[in-house]
Amino acid sequence: MNRREKEPIAIFGAGWVGLVTGACFAELGHEVTVRDIVPEKVEKLRAGGVSFFEPGLAELVERNRERLRFTLDAAEAAQAAELLFVCVDTPPTYSGDADLSRVWTVIDELPSLDRRAILVMKSTVPVGTGEKVRAALETRGLSHIGYVSNPEFLAEGGAVRDFLNPDRVVVGAFADADGDRVAALYEGMNAPVVRADIASAEMIKLAANAFLATRISFINEIANVCEATGADVVRVAEGVGLDHRLGPHFLRAGVGYGGSCFPKDTSALKQLASNSGYHFQLLSAVIEVNELQKRRVIKKLEKHLGRLRGKTIALLGLAFKANTDDMREAPSIVLASRLLAEGAHVRAYDPVADAGDIVRGMSSCESMADAVRGADAAVIVTEWDEFRSLLTDEIRDSMSRPLVVDGRNLLDPEAAASAGFTYEGIGRGVSALEALPETAERDTEFAE
Ligand SMILES: NC(=O)c1ccc[n+]([C@@H]2O[C@H](COP(=O)([O-])OP(=O)(O)OC[C@H]3O[C@@H](n4cnc5c(N)ncnc54)[C@H](O)[C@@H]3O)[C@@H](O)[C@H]2O)c1
């Protein structure tokens, strides 16, 4: 296909992946129809709004309004296009496997198209899904519909940039011609295109996320050993990351990974292996390390505050990372729940994310200053830029104790000390588990 030729495209799912994919393809000149099942989402999109926070996305949707249509009607979307992108959510089930029910609904709702079309899977799915979808299409008498696996690698917070400047485009196809047609959509993006069989394309996505999660758990383990031995993980990561064989990315120690992808995709890959008779030991450890990492902040607080019952803890940041309002699997949820279970009062502030009633008993604040006022400690949970300005005299004086637990290593420990704060980072050379220092006030009130 000539790269200037425009394709009519349908997108199923107006979430992070679907809306970004739709808006970006519209930006590239294609006619796009986006279908979702949530009436409020579709109404809001029709009225020019976007129901979640993703930098640049609302502007992109607005700019391409002429080429973007939104509908609740699956048949309308499918009839309007020859390339049908599946971008629905594939959340984890109780067993840890991926829940493909929304994918199957899309297949079930496809009208009996009387022309050739290609179903393009962008949702993250277990290896083997393409084969199953192929069989389901045959059963439905839709053998003239092709199938291509085209996993998405965008990261929330920079989703539009990532989509338009991908590191690579992965295209797995049963028929080369179908793969060519999908690959052609990305021409001009200057990205290598990896052509593969369907199973390998599906595995590339799962392996990439598992590898990124492994790097995070790895550097968190190094951070924990740094705390026990007096090294500084920030310097260590810098020195390690300059090795061209390793690179600097995903080597920031912190409170663990969260979000809608890493936890579910690592779990889905672990279960996929296990269902296939293989015990993926390394990945099991990566997941366990991450769970433990979220809880280590409690020990750091206890080191300075003693028992946490009755203490007021300010959580700075709720979203699983900066520049998003996505709360799915955010470490803040585990942290807040643990603090509440210890009897602490928890006050939280996030510039955009709203915890709603995910954590009952936590109060929400309108600003960083509100959250920390009178608090016994401030915990940086999300690496929002705004929290870099924490170290002021006003903030210090407004706190009951000027204790900062920096769960993202956002601040400079020396600057924090000079500003009169007691500072605890992650892996910054001081053992969180060591005995209480002489000067720390012990909480004897509730001592057993
Ligand atoms: N969020 C990310 O950063 C990211 C990155 C890469 C890949 N992925 C993968 O992409 C997929 C989508 O993720 P997301 O974060 O965009 O999810 P999301 O929850 O933000 O959006 C999914 C949307 O699909 C809609 N939907 C559900 N059933 C539908 C149906 N039958 N027809 C049309 N719409 C339907 C939902 O209402 C929702 O709006 C997942 O498999 C995810 O793992 C996500």
Q: What is the pLDDT of residues 157-194, one digit of tens each?
A: 999 999 999 999 999 999 999 999 999 999 989 999 99
| Cα distance between residue 103 and residue 447, in whole Å | 53
pLDDT bucket at 447, cuts 50 / 70 / 90? very low
Q: How confident is the model at residue 438 (pLDDT cuts 50, 70, 90)?
A: very low
φ/ψ of 329, rounded to 5, equals 55, 30
- CA 228, CA 427: separation in Å to the nearest integer? 8
Q: Enumerate residues 6+ apart whose C-beta is below 8 A from 340.
A: 346, 359, 361, 362
Find the range with the poorest average confidence among 81-90, 102-111, 379-388, 427-436: 427-436
Ligand 1 midpoint to CA 88 (Å): 4
Q: Extract the tokens encoding 79.
A: 């009839």
Centre of ligand 1 to C-alpha 155, Å, is 13
Q: Which residues contact 372 (CB under 8 A, 6 or more apart)?
A: 314, 316, 378, 390, 395, 398, 399
Helix or strand (DSSP H, E) at 364 = strand 363-364
pLDDT score recorded for residue 371: 98
Catalytic residue among 24, 87, 226, 261: 261
| CA-wise closest residue to 401 among 384, 422, 379 | 422
Inter-residue contact 60 to 27 (CB < 8 Å): yes
For 389-412, b/e burial (b = at least 16 CB within 10 A) is: ebbeeebbeebebbbbbbbbbbbb
Ligand 1 pocket, CB under 6 A = 12-18, 35-38, 41, 87-90, 102, 105-106, 123-124, 152, 154-156, 260-261
Largest CA distance in the chain: 79
* pLDDT, tens digit, 9 for 90 and up, residues 389-429: 999 999 999 999 999 999 999 999 999 999 999 999 999 97
Q: Residue 194 corresponds to which tokens in the numbers above?
A: 């990896």
Nearest to 216 by CA among 273, 155, 283: 283
**Model pLDDT, residue 357:** 85
Q: Separation of 123 CA from ligand 1 center, angstroms?
A: 7
First-to-last C-alpha distance (Å) of the chain: 75
CA-to-CA dists, residue 265 to 166, 212, 215, 246, 436, angstroms: 20, 11, 15, 23, 39
Distance between Cα 14 and ligand 1 center (Å): 7
> What does the alpha-carbon distance between residue 379 and residue 424 come to, in Å, rounded to a whole number?
9
Give pLDDT tens digits for 144-164.
999 999 999 999 999 999 999
Identify the residue whose C-alpha is closest to ligand 1 atom 19.
89
At how many degrees (to 10) do helices 129-139 and 198-229 cross?
150
For ligand 1, the distance from its centroid to the CA atom of residue 125, given in whole angstroms, is 11
Percent of the chain with pLDDT over 90: 92
| Best probe residue, ligand 1, of 11, 12, 16 (max atoms within 8 Å of C-beta) | 16
pLDDT of residue 441: 38
Question: CA 272 to CA 280: how far, in whole Å?
Answer: 9
pLDDT in tens, 81-100: 999 999 999 999 999 999 99
Beta carbons within 10 angstroms of residue 231's beta carbon: 16
Q: What is the pLDDT of residues 202-217, one digit of tens each?
A: 999 999 999 999 999 9
| Average pLDDT of the segment spanning 427-441 | 51
Q: Are 387 and 410 in contact (CB under 8 A)?
A: yes
Predicted local distance difference test score (pLDDT) of residue 440: 38
**What was the pLDDT predicted at 42?**
98
Which among 42, 87, 205, 329 is the best mutation to test ligand 1's pocket, defined by most ligand atoms within 8 Å of the CB? 87
**Mean pLDDT value of segment 31-46:** 98
Whole-prediction pTM value?
0.93
One-letter amino acid at 98 equals A
What pLDDT shows up at residue 356? Answer: 84
Question: pLDDT for 214-241, tens place per residue?
Answer: 999 999 999 999 999 999 999 999 999 9
- Which pLDDT value is given to residue 436? 38
Q: Is 365 marked active-site?
A: no
What is the rounded average pLDDT for all residues in the chain? Answer: 94
Q: Mind spelling out the 3-state secondary structure of 220-250?
A: HHHHHHHHHHCCEHHHHHHHHHCCCCCCCCC
For the CA of 159, the nearest atom of ligand 1:
3
Q: Whose CA is nearest to atom 27 of ligand 1?
A: 88
